[in-house]
Structure 1
Amino acid sequence: MLFNTKSFSLYLQNLITTYKPHVNPNFTHTHQIKLISSLKVVWRKDQKLDQAIENDKQYKLCARVVKEVLNEPGQVIPLRYLEKRRERLSLNVKVRTFLNRYPGLFYTYYDRIKPKSDAVLFLRPSDRLRDFLEEERKIYDNNEELLVAKLCKLLMMSKDKVLSVDKLVHVKREFGFPNDFLVKLVPRYPNYFKLVGCPGEGQSFLELESWNPDFAKSVIQLRAEEEAKLTGIPVRPNFNEEMREWVRDWLELDYISPYEDVSNLDQSSQEMEKRTVAVFHELLSLSIFKRIPVPILGKFSDEYRFSNAFSSAFTRHSGIFYLSLKGGIKTAMLREAYRHSELIDRDPLLEIKERFVELLEKGKHEWTEQLRLQREEVKKDMEKMALRSEDEEEKLDELMYDEQM
């Protein structure tokens, strides 16, 4: 067991057995549905949160290109092959231009694709990139307990405590899982995980083997406990949201942990809405950037009991979430994790991004310095040409004067 808080097991058990949904007697079930499930709220643009996505645009582009090369056999690829994949990678400049802008990522060299073919330009990871990959491995090792807890939490929130391996692989970057988490991390914890089927060969699933009550605390619950410790007064877990008139009664409902069994709740009830918001809040809190594209969340609709119109909850509860449309993709963001466009709720695994950005910045600095030197050389050449032209004009004037004499 990674964490040991024995008292929480009794607390969680008591929470589940004593939970009774609060129902406002002034509201009928039909009225509840109208207020929550069918409520239409006007979407409002938040430029600062949109900027947070824009700020990571170059980082994500470079990460995609690096991943593309590292996934190749031998981690090498002909430049012209990578050039053909530009559209899929959303790379809007030629590969040569990209390499010039970020010279610290790859080395280029000539080799033959086939024994008798002409030599062509290849790419392979630079020594700097390999050093970064070693740092990345160490950061993953140092945060292994966090990774295990995250993976357990994702399984514990699902209705059957089982998730598709294909879906988990698809979201590994969102939650910070390493590429090899299924073959290295999962087998080391047979007390928590059971892999059913073979990944990549038909359907395979990851099952939760044992329930750790220490992992069944949501961020909302932990926050309430911490506040209670500081004030000495019991604090009721709840969301930080504006007390608008229509949401007041909804906020008065008891908080429903995303780790509770809610199979008895009506999908369109206020209680189910509260639980769904709790799941969204927890998923975004577990993610590296505290934001997840809505299409990715939609892949888990069945496992986490989301309704078909689940994305409308992000605009209904705009005090908790922001739905960004940046880049033509809907992205759900956790407002409380940001101050303006800066992420303040920082996941320990963000250190990987910071190290990678340092690598990019170093290469970009070299590129700009090289451009500056080239401009200076061109300027010097132009000045020399100008001086030469002046000398030639003076000599021509002297000859013309001599002829006149």
Structure 2
Amino acid sequence: MPSFSSRLQQSHLFLRRRLLRPPPCLFGWAASISSLKVTWRKDPLLDAAIDRDKRWRLCSRVVREVLNEPGQTIPFRYLENRRERLRLPVHVKTFLARYPNLFDVYPAPIKPRQPPVPFLRPSPRLRSFLDLDARLRSLHEPLALAKLCKLLMMSRHRALPVEKLLNAKRDFGLPDDLLCSLVPRHPQLLRLVHAAGDRPFLELVSWEDDYAKSVIERRAEEEAQLTGVRMRPNFDVRLPPGFFLRKEMREWTRDWLELPYVSPYADTSRLHPASAEMEKRSVGVLHEVLSLTLLKRMAVPIIGKFSEEFRLSNAFTNVFTRHPGIFYVSLKGGIKTAMLREAYERGDLMDRDPLLEIKDRFMEMLDEGYKEYLERVKTKREAMQKDLELMASKNAELPDDDEESAETEQPL
């Protein structure tokens, strides 16, 4: 017969297993989620939105490469050697010809007593844009601060690794030097923590209730003020034209939308990972993160870097395909990009971030340079055409060889 201690140990083990086991209803919910499959369908309009920004991303990479060099100058051939890393599809000479207002080319030696070689430096037009960029970032610093605090407030320990933040800073419109500019100016909210032998973290110093409201919650409040009727926060589901869900998926989505909204800023440490509430919370976090980005879209691998801090499951990417009326995943450029459907109307971004003014001004500068390039090409072609016409007219005035020989053979 087992001893009392062994029976007590077995009883303790049995109770521990019962406590750790999720309720039966969660098994059904988890099973229902795993059995739901939505076929991915291409959205040409949203894919085109990513394509339209290809020139902006390419030129921004080249400009940053030069600005990050000592003295903000770089030998021409050094930049040519970095084409593959910059994903520059044309030679640097061709790139400079297409956008002549970005850089000045001047001769200088790489080392003393060496012959001069072509160097690049920012042009006066680019310098003017950089000054405007600094002024606009200073004007919209409260918005950048709010975004940074919101990201920290959504995280598990109110802190995020600096390395991960720096990888995603441009998606949110945060300044490149945020650790040297934005963070030190707001010590009452942000603190940089260097733990011994550990990677640096950015930590939230104090909780701000004004920031602890999601886009969905604010939208419900605004609608309530307009209508005078209390609105329940919920997601805006917009299925693309011609997209239909199977009956079981429609019923599941309907029941899921009826669940109470779970704020991404709420404490969800007690929620079971397989619960319906946790699914609602995961969608809320992903929706809020995308809402904080400049273009209301973000590369899925970059989002995945924050999965641990935001308490997202390893299979969080399935959330995007399970909710096609809220998200769209584009495969443009060979990388998965999650997009917010509600932010776009027929492929055009309608929910515009104030910081996008910087991008708009940059594109204006690129358009000016490209227009100058096209005018040069046109002038060159016209000059070549005139030369050809002049040569043709001169050839027409010259007598034929047969006529000349006949004239010389006639007697005097």
Same fold (TM over 0.5): yes
1:42-57 map, 5 Å = 42-57=39-54
Look up the match of 2:205: 209
2:196 equivalent to 1:191: no
Alpha-carbon distance in structure 2 between the residues aligned to 1:391 and 1:305: 84
- TM-score normalised to the size of structure 1? 0.90
Q: Comparing 175-184 with 46-55, which one deviates more in the overlay?
A: 175-184
Look up the match of 1:135: 132
Alpha-carbon distance in structure 1 between the residues aligned to 2:69 and 2:320: 39
Contact preservation (8 Å) 2:26, 2:274? no
Letter paired with 1:203: R
SS, match of residue 182 in structure 1: coil
2:154 equivalent to 1:157: yes
SS, match of residue 345 in structure 1: coil
1:157-176 map, 5 Å = 157-176=154-173
Look up the match of 2:250: 244
Alpha-carbon distance in structure 2 between the residues aligned to 1:170 and 1:390: 67
Alpha-carbon distance in structure 1 between the residues aligned to 2:79 and 2:346: 37
Aligned-pair distance for 1:116? 2.2
2:218 equivalent to 1:222: yes
- Counting aligned pairs with the same residue, the percent is 57
Shift >3 Å, 4+ stretches: 395-398
1:196-345 map, 5 Å = 196-197=193-194, 203-241=199-237, 244-345=250-351
Aligned-pair distance for 1:202? 6.5
Contact preservation (8 Å) 1:36, 1:270? no
1:102-141 map, 5 Å = 102-141=99-138
Could you say which structure has the larger radius of gyration?
2
Look up the match of 2:93: 96
Letter paired with 1:185: L
Aligned-pair distance for 1:395? 5.9
Q: Which runs of 5+ in 2 are unaligned?
A: 1-22, 240-248
Aligned-pair distance for 1:170? 0.9
Alpha-carbon distance in structure 2 between the residues aligned to 1:288 and 1:321: 16
Alpha-carbon distance in structure 2 between the residues aligned to 1:58 and 1:163: 31
1:60-89 Cα deviation digits (max 9, x unpaired): 000000000000000000111111111111
CA RMSD of aligned residues (A): 1.6
Look up the match of 1:66: 63
- TM-score normalised to the size of structure 2? 0.89
SS, match of residue 97 in structure 2: helix
Alpha-carbon distance in structure 2 between the residues aligned to 1:350 and 1:74: 28
Aligned-pair distance for 1:28? 2.9
Alpha-carbon distance in structure 1 between the residues aligned to 2:402 and 2:276: 95
Alpha-carbon distance in structure 1 between the residues aligned to 2:53 and 2:315: 28
In the alignment of these two chains, the number of paired residues is 377
Corresponding residue to 1:390 among 377, 396, 401:
396
Alpha-carbon distance in structure 1 between the residues aligned to 2:36 and 2:267: 26
Alpha-carbon distance in structure 2 between the residues aligned to 1:295 and 1:38: 25
Letter paired with 1:282: E
Aligned-pair distance for 1:37? 4.5
Letter paired with 2:405: M
Aligned-pair distance for 1:177? 0.6
SS, match of residue 90 in structure 2: coil
Q: 1:156 to 1:332 in 2, by over 3 A?
A: same
Letter paired with 1:294: V
2:351 equivalent to 1:355: no
Letter paired with 2:387: D
Contact preservation (8 Å) 1:37, 1:268? no
Alpha-carbon distance in structure 1 between the residues aligned to 2:198 and 2:382: 59
Q: Which runs of 5+ in 1 are unaligned?
A: 1-24
